Amino acid sequence: MRGRGRMWIAATALVLLWTGFAYDLSRPPDGSDYHRTVLQITRTAHDAAATGALIGRQQLDGQVFGPFAVSAYRDATRAMGSARRRLTEQAPPDGTSMAQRDRIAPILGAAADHLGDAASARDDARLRAAVDDLEHDVRQLATLLRAWQ
């Protein structure tokens, strides 16, 4: 009997915990949730752009070999893509959020383009230009991060 009682308590606790999770996950996002999401997106984009810039610099210095650079660009491009996708997936719930989104969206677009330029650059001049652009994006994103944190 005691065993059964305990099982009931455990089962109830589990159900409550699960309901809590379900509620937490399904409630509509408010401003602070959106803020956190935007921060994450900005951070991901910043890291991806910085990775691209770093790889480009090392390519220019002859410090990496081809397949490695290809995989590293691919990882960065994938991360940048997921950041952009997340930004479009979630609608901003209020005015502040909207402003945040409008601030970040064009930078993400530019950074994604520059990343593509760097990954597909055929000569050093183009690569150097793309890397310079990427480093500019990184600085912008870093400024936003500092301001929003």
Partner 1 sequence: MKRVLSIALGILTAIGGFVDIGDIVANSEAGARFGVAHAWVLAVGVVGICSYAEMSGRVSAVSGRAVFDLVRERLGPRVALANLAGSLLVTVLTLGAELGGVGLALQLASSVDYLLWVPVVAVVLWVALWRVKFSMLENVFGLTGLVLIVFVVAFLRLRPDTGALWHQATDPGPPAGEDWGTYWFFAVALFASALTPYEVFFFSSGAVEEQWTAKDLRTARFNVFLGFPLGGLLAFAIMLSSATVFGPRQMSVDTLAQVAMPTALALGKLGLAAAILGFFAATFGAAMETGLSTGYTVAQYFGWDWGKLRRPRDAARFHTVLIIGIVVGVALLMTTIDPIQLTEYTLVFSAVALPLTYLPILVVANDRDYLGDRVNGRLANSVGSVYLIVVVAAAVAAIPLMLITRMGGG
Contacts to partner 1 by CB under 8 A: 36, 39-40, 43, 46-47, 50-51, 54-55, 58, 61-68, 70-72, 74-75, 79, 138, 142, 145, 149
CA 2 to chain centre: 50
CB of 17 to partner 1, least distance (A): 10
Toward partner 1, which CB reaches closer, 98 or 120? 120
Burial-class residue 4 by CB neighbours within 10 Å (0-12, 13-18, 19+): exposed
CB closer to partner 1 out of 46 and 84:
46
**Tokens coding 128:** 């150097």
13-52 in b/e burial notation, b at 16+ Cβ within 10 A?
A: eeeeeeeeeeeeeeeeeeeeebbebbbebbbbbbbbbbbb
Closest separation in Å from C-beta 40 to partner 1: 7
Q: Between 95 and 149, name the residue whose CB sits nearer to partner 1.
A: 149
Q: How far is the CB of 78 from partner 1 (least distance, A)?
A: 9
Residues contacting 107, CB < 8 A, separation 6+: 45, 137, 140, 141, 144
Nearer Cβ to partner 1, position 55 or 108? 55
Q: Shortest gap between Cβ of 128 and partner 1 (angstroms)?
A: 18
